[in-house]
Structure 1
Amino acid sequence: MRKIGKNIVLVILILLLLCGCQNSKTNELDLIHIKSAGGQKKKVIVMLVDSLMAQSIDQGIREQELPTFQFLIEHGQYYQNLVSSFPTMSVTIDSTLLTGTYPDGHLVPGLTWYSTDDQKVINYGTGPMEVFKQGINSVAIDGLIHLNGRHLSRELPTIYDDLAWRGLKSGSINGLIYRGAYDHTLSIPKWIQSFTSLDKEISVKGPDFLAFGSLSNPLASVLNLPDGLTNRMGFNNKYAIEVAQYLIQANKLPDFLYVYLSDLDQKLHKKGPTDLSGVKEVDQQLQSLLQAFGSPEKALNEAIIMILGDSGMTQILPADQNPEIKLHELFGDAKVLRPGEAVSTDTDIILAVNETMAYVYLLNKDRSLEDVANGLIREPRIDIIAWKEREWIYAIQGLTGKQLRFKANGNMIDQYKQSWTVEQDYEVLDLEVNTADQTINYGEYPDALQRLSGALNSHEGNFLVVTAKPGYELADRSSPTHKGGGGHGSIRKMESLVPLIISGTEHKPQYLRIVDLKTYLLDLLTKQ
């Protein structure tokens, strides 16, 4: 029992490392070439706050608890309905933000998914027991080596690549997706090496400046940062803010700096989306960053500050209201792959659960995806089931069985100037279709057609996308659950619409979608 206990503790530590969802030997080089030569142009700082929601900001301002958010809003632009990527999981969303494409372009389908090439489930760190069963070594390699090095499309430039080509400097602090043009080294501590096949040093590509917890700490010889085991190895807000403060005060800000603040997500998963304590902490941290310029007013004179969330959260019902949809129990006699099990010729179904969303892979060639979908709709807590057949995408409404199908290109135009052919029951995806002028507006499922298409074309395989109704979450045998707390992953408004605050410029984004922000940021950086 003691050995098992130690292994679980180790899994938790590695999970913290990977999910932030060793000291670098190149720190001097980072600091030498980080400073921008951009003259009087304003720097751009993007701060992504994991699971930040507009309802929390609004409530906190009403209660006069968020003075920094209030200042930034009063001196800038505030949008409450920025559309996230899908599934609404951090690695996929960050990939969308930094590449300007949905998963069909950047090829990172979710926090967990099944690779037909490798014939295994890819897991970047979903939960301690699931990581333990999938294998610590496998999760560590996929999270630290393959995510940025192989899974993120090599054909697609990140914003860091684009800025390097334009002769501009960039930096990332704790960003999960960081691939860029320059060589860096992740230093792996001995205690992790002893439980994995990871080398002492891992060569990666990143922006000019890369701070990635204690694995890549360019300021190790300058600051005493909170990057020990008790501080989640640097994957915390305090570390991220202190690194950004140093760059500001030392006059070493790059043209573009991306800062990932992870702490809020953990609080909301535990306490639910109505908890304000984490947002108040973020407000204080933002204030300290603005003060690093000398004052908040001076900060907006010298930089464009952008604050955004990546996904919202749905309140998960308490345990006594049966919120957990045990997906593995819904397939009758089919052989569902157990976490950590090797795929065999007997395997019928593989599950990759991303909280309130899941990929369901069908390996049994004697059954069709529609057949599996029709079996799932009898579960009243399931919301939407979707799959792809040739150029068409089919979506079925849980319980009612109402169906819709659509494909790209057609006579119908949505608010993002995307064209579609849509047939059958529009109610399934809550589409408002004006047949007279052939327009589509989205209701409960923002940008649903493109986001579903993005997920279903994100990787090879014969699979369904399944989402849960509000208050419920999907689960496999070892999936982490959040009864009475918060969850995300699905395509509904509550989990898909996030706040965006832009201060220091009057230039407005064309569309309010995370997928469009890369183009907007490049305009800010190149057309000032």
Structure 2
Amino acid sequence: MVMLKKENRIVLAILMLLLMIGCRNPKQEEQDLMRIKSADKDNPKKVILLLVDSLMPEAIDRGIRQHKLPAIEFLIEHGQYYRELVSSFPTMSVTIDSSLITGKYPDDHHVPGLTWYSAGLKKLINYGTGPMEVARQGINPVLADALIHLNGSHLNSKLPTIYEDLAGQGLTSGSINGLIYRGMSNHTISIPAWVQGPTSLPREIKVKGPDLLALGSLSNPFEGSIDLPDGLFNKMGFNNDFAVEAVKYLITSNKLPDFLYVYLPDLDRKLHRNGPSEQNGVIKVDQQLQSLLQAFGSPEQALKDAVIIIAGDSGMTQILPDAQNPVINIHNMFEDASVLNPGETVDKGIDIVLAVNETMAYVYAVHADRPIRDVAKGLQKDPRIDLIAWKEEGWIYAQQGATAKQLRFKADGDLTDPYHQSWKVEQDNEVLDLKVNAADHSLAYGEYPDVLKRLSGALNSHQGEFLVVTTKPGYELADRSSPTHIGGGGHGSIRKRESLVPLIISGTKKQPQYLRMVDLKAYLLELLKKKTQINH
């Protein structure tokens, strides 16, 4: 245990130093701030989207009842408030952001989760799940995947991002600490020379992004213009204060681009530690929003100058205390198989590969002679498992963990859901809590929002034979070095609690067609395309 703690500290220190020490490029920074000035002179109203990691509608409603969220309450009173925006699946930030920025589910954008297995590369991809997994997976591959491959090759290059679409329309855009940022402008992420040897990373990483790209201290275009909290004790700029102060600078210096995306991560950390009932983090977010609105001169002026949109990305489930056995050690459920150890190479002796995303996991059968349906049998015994799903002969099968009740479905059937997607569904509708009306050929969703498309999106997001596994509320999955959140909060799964997030829109009366994360891109483009029609 002492060695594990020591290893944990070493890994954290290396990652902090890597993020903290970056070579500045003043010319690039100057270019960023020069080129983001709005291209639309006649319609200066901007669109600012703030994505608050793990913001939940229950926290907003509770805070307003207690009169502790004046900024959010103002925006709701002067705008639109939706409590049930459907997130992407798995409910992990990197996949959700990919859906938001591309307007598609993972079957199109190809970013399946925070961790997943590439059959083509025979490699477990990990964008940074936790220090122990990073240590065993290797710092070099994790950083390379997160800083180079995620936006450079993993995100579908044939699928345009909102930044690329806006550039094609002659409009400017910016991203502050966004995980998915591919655009049309050239940027440089700088890595200190001393890291090159041990990590094999290049000193400078050339990336494509929006007109303005800020990634904490890795890429700080505000250097020399404003002193932002991006040091060792400020998570190297990957924090709310960095993001909000950067936005305030753009507002007060009249440099807002036509569209600005802002990622606020701090609340997620608090909820993982304290659970979804944590309220202080939401109050802190509200204070930061209040200061942002005041940067316009007043909250009223803010809504005259900009459309301000606030959204959560995923909810949180309360993880049970240790005494109630909340952690499902999924690697122990395959006693008759050889399961890949973190950091090992996939060879002929490996039968199973695990990619755990908190309350969801991908389980891969890496040998063709092991049917995926047989792999699923190893998971049926544990009553803490909620759903097991897989593809087979053109169908997607979903099975309840403890009961073994089963349903199968595929697209292009005679049932139409609320999003005008058509499906063919057979067997037990109870498995996915579907409400089928045979008379009018319709189906509605219950406990699992947009579950047919979201499960289909995950199961078709990358190559290979694999299962999707989710847990019942209160439990989370773990491999040998996975981070756990006992007594705190977790997400990743597909139930309502983790899937439905708030959406607040102020500064326009135009409404989104559908309340899904995957539909926000089209809505944003519509706002930006027809700004003369936005109601002040």
Q: TM-score range by the shorter chain?
A: over 0.9
Give the superposition deviation at 1:517.
0.3
| TM-score normalised according to structure 2 size | 0.96
Task: Name the amino acid aligned to 1:12.
Answer: L
Does residue 376 in structure 1 map to residue 379 in structure 2? yes
Choose which of 8, 29, 44 in structure 2 pairs with 1:27.
29
Q: Output the CA distance in 2 between the equivalents of 1:214 and 1:422.
A: 50
Give the superposition deviation at 1:231.
0.9
Match of 1:253 in 2: 256
Task: Name the amino acid aligned to 2:337.
Answer: A
Q: Is this contact kept in 1: 2:18–2:192, CA < 8 A?
A: no
Does residue 55 in structure 1 map to residue 64 in structure 2? no
Give the superposition deviation at 1:24.
3.7
Does residue 187 in structure 1 map to residue 190 in structure 2? yes
Match of 2:454 in 1: 451
Which range moves more in the overlay, 346-355 or 188-197?
Answer: 188-197
Q: Is this contact kept in 2: 1:88–1:491, CA < 8 A?
A: yes
Task: Name the amino acid aligned to 1:57.
Answer: I
Aligned length: 527
Q: Is this contact kept in 2: 1:444–1:492, CA < 8 A?
A: yes
Match of 1:171 in 2: 174
The alpha-carbon distance between structure 1 residues 215 and 440, as it changes in their structure 2 partners (threshold 3 A), is same
SS of the residue aligned with 2:484?
coil
Give the superposition deviation at 1:2.
10
Q: Give me the CA root mean square deviation.
A: 1.7
Give the superposition deviation at 1:4.
7.6
The alpha-carbon distance between structure 1 residues 24 and 178, as it changes in their structure 2 partners (threshold 3 A), is farther
Q: Is this contact kept in 2: 1:15–1:127, CA < 8 A?
A: no
Which range moves more in the overlay, 321-330 or 33-42?
Answer: 33-42
- What do the CA deviations read for 1:201-253 (whole angstroms, capped 9, x no partner)? 11000000001100110011111111111111110000001111111000000
Match of 2:278 in 1: 275
Choose which of 221, 244, 247 in structure 1 pairs with 2:247.
244
SS of the residue aligned with 2:140?
helix
Q: Is this contact kept in 1: 2:161–2:182, CA < 8 A?
A: yes
Q: Output the CA distance in 2 between the equivalents of 1:448 and 1:27.
A: 43
Give the superposition deviation at 1:12.
2.2
Q: Output the CA distance in 2 between the equivalents of 1:377 and 1:518.
A: 38
- What do the CA deviations read for 1:303-326 (whole angstroms, capped 9, x no partner)? 000000000000000111100000
Give the superposition deviation at 1:15.
5.9
Q: Output the CA distance in 1 between the equivalents of 2:502 and 2:236.
A: 28
Give the superposition deviation at 1:282.
0.3
Q: Is this contact kept in 1: 2:16–2:232, CA < 8 A?
A: no
Choose which of 498, 502, 510 in structure 2 pairs with 1:499.
502
Q: Output the CA distance in 2 between the equivalents of 1:285 and 1:159.
A: 26
Q: Is this contact kept in 1: 2:19–2:236, CA < 8 A?
A: no
Which range moves more in the overlay, 217-226 or 269-278?
Answer: 217-226
| TM-score normalised according to structure 1 size | 0.97
Does residue 157 in structure 1 map to residue 156 in structure 2? no
Choose which of 398, 412, 423 in structure 2 pairs with 1:395.
398
Does residue 438 in structure 1 map to residue 441 in structure 2? yes
Which range moves more in the overlay, 26-35 or 92-101?
Answer: 26-35
Q: Is this contact kept in 2: 1:17–1:232, CA < 8 A?
A: no
Does residue 290 in structure 1 map to residue 296 in structure 2? no
Gaps of 5+ in 2: 532-536
Q: Is this contact kept in 2: 1:169–1:255, CA < 8 A?
A: yes
Does residue 203 in structure 1 map to residue 206 in structure 2? yes
Q: Is this contact kept in 2: 1:18–1:140, CA < 8 A?
A: no
Give the superposition deviation at 1:198.
1.3
Q: Output the CA distance in 2 between the equivalents of 1:297 and 1:366.
A: 65
SS of the residue aligned with 1:373?
helix
Does residue 81 in structure 1 map to residue 84 in structure 2? yes
Q: Is this contact kept in 1: 2:356–2:482, CA < 8 A?
A: yes
Give the superposition deviation at 1:117.
1.4
Does residue 106 in structure 1 map to residue 109 in structure 2? yes
- What do the CA deviations read for 1:308-347 (whole angstroms, capped 9, x no partner)? 0000000000111100000000012200000001101010
Task: Name the amino acid aligned to 1:38.
Answer: D
Q: Percent identity?
A: 68
Does residue 467 in structure 1 map to residue 470 in structure 2? yes
Q: Is this contact kept in 2: 1:429–1:448, CA < 8 A?
A: yes
Give the superposition deviation at 1:18.
10
The alpha-carbon distance between structure 1 residues 16 and 95, as it changes in their structure 2 partners (threshold 3 A), is farther
The alpha-carbon distance between structure 1 residues 207 and 298, as it changes in their structure 2 partners (threshold 3 A), is same
SS of the residue aligned with 1:351?
strand
Give the superposition deviation at 1:450.
0.1
Task: Name the amino acid aligned to 1:33.
Answer: R
- What do the CA deviations read for 1:353-389 (whole angstroms, capped 9, x no partner)? 0000000000233321111112211110000000011
Match of 2:11 in 1: 11
Match of 1:90 in 2: 93
Q: Output the CA distance in 2 between the equivalents of 1:106 and 1:164.
A: 19
